[in-house]
Each structure stands twice: as structure tokens, then as C-alpha cells.
Structure 1
Amino acid sequence: MEQLPSIQQLENFIIYGKVRNFTTAAKKANITQSAFSFQMKKLEELLGVKLIVRSNRGSDLTEAGEKFLQHVQKVIGELSECVYEMKQIKGKTMPLNIGALMSLGDVLMNQHLSYFQKHNADLTINVYNLEAYELFRQLEDGSLDIISTFYMSQLDVAKYERTFFCNEKMVFYAPHFNSQKNELAIEDIASYPLVQYAPHYLMNSIIKNYFTVNKKTPVVKAWLSTPYAIMNYCQQNETGAVLSERLLNAVGIEDGYYDMAPSFNLKCYLMYKKSNPKYKIMKVFIDYIQKLYTNR
């Protein structure tokens, strides 16, 4: 029988196909660059085809390499799905790993999971509360199956499937502001001390951009990492913050916040890879979340 490539060779070739760089690919594969390069050369020798062209300027896939990559991704995907289905038959269901955006809070996702698991008792779901860049990194490397986040033009999201489920209404939470109005103009908001997310958080730049577009620059008094810490700071000090109304309501806060003018809304999506071997059970969860918000 003709010798076939090893699973490791094929998986590492897929990794290279994603990053087109030997150093980066070796790090992702958790092996040395020399070992990674050796694997790719042995794969080419086995196939008798040049898959990767190398030069002083870097490397890239050849035309044959591009074609082989498409076939390999399909084969490895089908193999992973087969393994997953066999484990289910034996009662070894693999958990569904879901990531929630830290700056929008995980309490919302926890509420959904509590209801969902009552009707799907045989399904184990793990929730991870992470910042945007880490969410996408773990979705890319397969650590997470689904992430709940808002659409971000700053990140490369074109390669993921995404399902819209709601418009996130952002409000100005300022329990000590003492206004009789239900809505505050951006001039009033910008004149009040602001609590922001940590500077390296993507949500920080989103909120900052909202004020910049409207030609206002609020005075930031503190930078904190979670919406819960921000809420507490506002309760203890005469400061305000831009937070999700949905999150405030979920933790029992029904007043002390104001609509913003101009309005500030973010489109929220579930993002995932359709090639994930857990896709069938993922789709059950995705359909549930989408239906939940459609009926609201």
C-alpha cells in the first residue's frame, strides 16, 4: 500500500496554510522551527510535489499547495467529526466551550446556559469570560467553539461564520448624576467624570471613538477591567460609565442610567467555525440563542 502522510504532517500543513510563515506556524504547532520545516519537506517528498516556495523574502504556498490545502482541510475536518461522533456514541460527549466578551459581562451568557442545559441535560458547556483579542485567538486555535461578541471592524472576522442575535443598547450609568431626564445629550455626558475600560481593551477604543466622532472628550477618572468593577466604582463615586443596558438589568439595576443622544448601539453576534466537528450541537445552541432574542 502506498505510504500516506501522517495526521501530524497534515495538521501542521494546515497550520502553515493559515499563517504562511514557518516561525509562526512552528510556535502554533508547539515544535521547533527546524522540526516543522523538516516535516514539510518530508511531506513534499512523500507527495512528489512542491507545496511551499521558499525565498529570502519569506515563503508561501505554491498553486499545488493551495489545492492540496483545500483537500486536507476537508479530510481532517471530516475525520475530526467522525471521532467526535464516535465519542458521543460511547457517552463521552465533548464539552461545548463558549467565550463571552468580558466588557459586556458573562452573567448574560450564564442565564442562557442555565435554561439551555435544563432542556439539554446531556450537554456540558463551559463558559470563559475573556477580552476581545483573546476571544478571537482562542476561537482561531480551537480552544473555543463559539464566541459571543459585537462586530468589530478592527479585527479580521471574515473567515468566521457569524449569527446576529441582538442590538446591544449602550447607556450612561451614573447613579449620582441626579437628573430628571431619561436621556442625556453627549454634551452632558462628556462634562461628567468617566470611568473607562483598561486602555488595552478593545471596548475602550469603541467608547473613545463614540466621543471622538461626536467631537467630545470626557475626563477619564479611572480605568478598570470588568463592567462589575466599573459599576461598583460609579456607585461609590460621582462618576459615570458607558455600559450595556442589558447587562445592568441582568444584575438587577433598573435605574441610575440614561439613554444616550446620539444613540450608541452595538450589533452582537455568535461567531464560530462551520468546520468545527461539534457543529451539529453548536447549531442547536446557536438556534436557541437566536430564537430567544427574536421572540423578545
Structure 2
Amino acid sequence: MDELPSIQQLENFILYGKYRNFTAAAKAANITQSAFSFQMKKMEELVGVQLITRSNRGSDLTEAGEQFLQQVTAVMQELEQSLYDLRSRHSETVTVTVGTMLSLGDVLMNRHLAYFQKYHREIVLSVYNLEARQLLEELSQDRVDIISTFYLPQMDITGYEKVLVCKDELVYYAPRLDISGTRVTAKEAASQPLAQYSPQYLMNLYLEQYFAGQTSTALQVQAWFSTPYAIMQYCQQNRIGAVLPRRFLQAMGVVHGWYELDPQIQVPCYLLYKRQNPKYAQIQIFIEYIRTTYHLDPDSLT
């Protein structure tokens, strides 16, 4: 029998098919570009067909390469599903890895963890808190099974299964500032010192764009933080304001010191996952629980 390509070669070929670039694919595979190129060349020798064209202008799949990519992807997915099914039959629990946004906080996820520990002992939820860009990267690389994230205009979520959980309202939180009424305009909020998310966060960019579109007043950002917990605590100790999710503040038991923004900010919150994930059945159990928790209409499961 002729020698067959290795699993690693096939996985890396799928990575190449995703990026169509040796440098990017090698980085995703966590090996050097020369090692990656050698693997692809060796695989072409084994199958006896040129799969990738190479020139000074770059590289791409040949027609045969495109066809082989589709077949290999289907085979690898079937293999992963078979291995997962085998392991599941000989294991009492299945771990579903969930990623949540740092800018939303994990206080709500703790409630979900407690529920699954009590009512779904066959499923173990493992939770990671990451920034939006990192969440999408982890999901694309199959390092998490499902993510809970705000949808911000800078995010590309095409190609993923998605469930609209809710539309979170962002409010102005300033418990130590003297503010009358229940609403604050964007201009009023911008005129006060502001605690903001870390500069590299998409949420930080989103809020900067919101204020820029509503007022010419320059933001007076005095502190940057990586979590809403840190922002909330800083506002409780200093005469400063911040924009935080109302759902987060309510979950933390905060009933005073926050104000509706004018104009209002509502950000959709989605669950994103891949349909071809071998844990699809367990993911659906989690989604059904979330759907019931937030009283979602089945039509939102799109």
C-alpha cells in the first residue's frame, strides 16, 4: 500500500486552505514557514498531484487542490466526530469550553455553571474570559466550543452559527458624581473624567466612535482597565464616570449611580459556535438552556 499523508500534514493542508498564505498558515500551525512548506511539498509528492501553485506573487490552491481540500476537510471532521463519539461512550462527562467577553464580565456565567453542575452532570462547562478579538480567534482555531460576545461593527461573524441572546443596554455609571435625573446626554458624559476599557479592546474603540458621533467634546479618559469589575470599583472610589452594561451592574446588585445614555446604546449579544463541532449535541443543550433563561423566540436561533 502506498504511503499516505500524515494527520499533521492533512491538518496543515486545511490550514493552508483557510489562509492561502504560507506565512499565516505556518503561524497558525505553530511551526516555521520552512517546515510548513516542506510538509506541503512532501504531501504533494505522496499524492502525486500538485495541490498548490507557487510564484513570486504568492501561492494558491490548484483546481485539484480545491477539490482535495473539500474532501480532506470532510474526512477530518468525520474522524474528529468518530473519536469524540468513542471517547464519549467511555467517559461520564463531556467538557464544553465557553468563552465570554471581559468587557461583559463572567458574573452571569457563574449562574449558568451552577445550573449545569446541578442538572446536567454529564456536561462540564469550562469558562474563559477574553477580549472580543481573542474570542473569535479562539473559536476559529477550535480552542473554545462556543462564545458569548457583544456584536460590535468591527467584528466579522460570518460563517458561524449564531443565537441572539439579548440586546444589552450600555449605561453611564458615576456613583460619586452629582447628577440629577435619570438620563445623561453623550455630551454631558464626555465632559466628565472617564474610566475606559483597555485601548486594544474593541469595546474601547466602539465607545470612542459613539462619543465622536455625538459630541465634539474630547474625551477625558483618566484610567484604562481590562474588566468591568475594575472599572466599577474605580468609579465607586473616585469622582469619575464610565459606560458599562446595565445587565452587568444589575447582576452585581448595583441599583443606584447609573443613568440611561441619550442617545441610547444597545449592543446585541450573541452565542457563536460551529455547526461541525463534534460537541454539537452538548452545545445545543447549553443553547436551549440559554434560550429558556432569556425567554428567546425560537426564530432567534439562526
Normalising by structure 1, we get a TM-score of 0.94
AA paired with 1:114? A
- Partner of residue 127, structure 1: 127
**How big is the shift at 1:94?**
4.0
Q: Find the counterpart in structure 1 of residue 60 from structure 2.
A: 60
CA distance in 1, matches of 2:95, 2:72: 25
Residues 162, 51 of structure 1: alpha-carbon distance in 2 compared, 3 angstrom cutoff: same
SS in 2 for 1:42: helix
Q: Distance in 2 between matches of 1:286 and 1:295?
A: 10
Q: How many residues are paired up?
A: 296
Amino acid at match of 2:71: H
Whichever residue aligns with residue 237 of structure 1, its letter is N
After TM superposition, give the deviation of residue 79 of structure 1 in Å.
Answer: 0.8
Residues of 1 paired with 2:85 and 2:273: CA distance? 19
**Are the equivalent residues in 2 in contact too, given 1:164–1:290 (CA < 8 A)?**
no
Q: What whole-Å deviation, never above 9, does each CA across 1:10-40 have from its counterpart, x for those lacking one?
A: 1110111111111222232233323322221
| Cross-structure match for 1:12 | 12
Whether contact under 8 Å (1:104, 1:247) holds in the other structure is yes
Q: CA RMSD in A?
A: 1.7
Instruction: Look up the match of 1:276.
Output: 277
Assess if the C-alpha contact under 8 Å between 1:165 and 1:294 holds in 2: no
Q: CA deviation at 1:148?
A: 0.7
Instruction: Verify the 8 A CA contact 2:186 2:215 in the aligned structure 1.
Output: no
Report if the CA contact (8 A) 1:87-1:93 is conserved.
no
3-state DSSP class of the match of 1:262?
Answer: strand
Deviates more, 1:183-192 or 1:230-239: 183-192
Structure 1 unmatched ranges of 5 or more: none
Shift of 1:207: 0.8
Question: What residue is the counterpart of 1:158 in the other structure?
Answer: 158
1:197-212 alignment runs, 5 A limit: 197-212=197-212
* 1:109 and 2:109 are equivalent in the alignment: yes
Is contact 1:195-1:220 (8 Å) kept? Answer: yes
Q: CA deviation at 1:203?
A: 0.9
Structure 1 runs (4+) greater than 6 angstroms displaced: none
Distance in 1 between the 2:146 and 2:127 partners?
10
Are 2:45 and 1:36 equivalent residues in the alignment? no
* One-letter amino acid matched to 1:201: Y
Aligned counterparts of 1:45 and 1:187: Cα–Cα separation in 2: 65
Contact 1:171–1:242 under 8 Å retained in 2? yes
Tell me if the contact between 2:98 and 2:144 (Cα under 8 Å) persists in the aligned partners.
yes
More deviation, 118-127/153-162 = 153-162
Paired AA for residue 120 in structure 1: H
**Amino acid of the residue matched to residue 70 of structure 1?**
Q
| 1:132-191, Cα deviation, whole Å (9 max, x unpaired) | 121112112111111111113313321222211110110000102233411122222222
d(CA) in 2 for partners of 1:286, 1:93:
18
**Structure 2 length-normalised TM:** 0.93
> Alignment identity in percent?
53
